[in-house]
């Protein structure tokens, strides 16, 4: 039991378990989730789909930052005040615009090779010459596949 204004004393076993779970989940965020979020990007010609995906990725990053802040706030035990402050601060920080642009990536999380950029420039010029949208000359997926697989024949 506790009296008004005085929370009950925390059980040492619970505090130890909470500290261990904080370390465990912090490691899982760092090992599993963070690498994927850091290298996540989208390549598509469709502006509407790109916007929806980028919005979803942004929301995922924000939610991840808030959840991690909640986990980290419990390192030395749980207290509602510090926990809620950590969540609020993380939500505010996550809502700020990114300072560095998200790099364009090919499937597999690698930077596109020079050939990919050369193909994009060729497609852009060809589209301008013919008065077409770039995707009407060649889809982004095709450019990525050519750059990644490096076909040696026209048939390939």
Give the DSSP letter string of 105-119. --TTSPPPPHHHHHH
What distances in angstroms separate CA 129 from CA 31, 50, 137, 143, one per listed residue?
47, 25, 11, 19
Alpha-carbon distances, residue 149 vs 44, 113, 143 (angstroms): 18, 11, 10
Instruction: Give the model's pLDDT for residue 101.
Output: 41
The residue-averaged pLDDT of 72-76 equals 86
Same domain, 87 and 37: yes
97-118 residue pLDDT tens: 544 443 344 445 454 567 778 8
**Domain-located, residue 7:** no
- Banded pLDDT at 2 (limits 50, 70, 90): very low
pLDDT of residue 113: 66
Q: Tell me, yes or no, whether 72 and 109 share the same domain.
A: no
User: What does the pLDDT average to over 2-25?
Assistant: 72
Domain extent, residue 27, equals 12-95
Identify the residue whose tokens are 């035990």.
Answer: 77
Q: What mean pLDDT do residues 3-26 have?
A: 74
Residue 11 has pLDDT above 50, yes or no: yes
Residues 59 and 127 in one domain: no
Confidence band (pLDDT; 50, 70, 90) for 33? Answer: confident
Domain count, the chain: 2
- Are residues 33 and 55 both part of a single domain? yes
CB 14 within 8 A of CB 21: no
Residues 58-71: pLDDT tens digits? 888 888 888 888 88
Residue 136: inside a domain: yes
- Are 43 and 105 in contact by the 8 Å Cβ rule? The answer is yes
Do 111 and 144 lie in one domain? The reply is: yes
Q: Is residue 156 part of a domain?
A: yes
In a domain, 111, yes or no: yes
In a domain, 4, yes or no: no
How do residues 127-145 score in pLDDT, each as one tens digit?
A: 899 888 887 888 787 777 7
- Residue appearing with tokens 């560095």: 100
């Amino acid at each position: 039991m506790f009296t008004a204004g005085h929370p009950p004393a925390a059980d040492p076993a619970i505090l130890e378990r909470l500290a261990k779970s904080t370390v465990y989940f912090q490691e899982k965020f760092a090992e599993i989730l963070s690498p994927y979020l850091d290298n996540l990007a989208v390549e598509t010609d469709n502006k509407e789909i790109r916007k929806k995906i980028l919005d979803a990725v942004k929301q995922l990053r924000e939610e991840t930052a808030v959840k991690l802040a909640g986990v980290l706030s419990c390192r030395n035990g749980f207290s509602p005040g510090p926990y809620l402050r950590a969540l609020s601060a993380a939500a505010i920080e996550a809502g700020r615009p990114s300072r560095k642009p998200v790099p364009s990536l090919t499937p597999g999380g690698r930077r596109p090779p020079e050939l990919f950029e050369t193909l994009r420039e060729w497609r852009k010029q060809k589209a301008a010459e013919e008065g077409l949208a770039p995707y009407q000359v060649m889809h982004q997926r095709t450019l990525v596949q050519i750059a990644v697989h490096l076909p040696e024949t026209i048939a390939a």
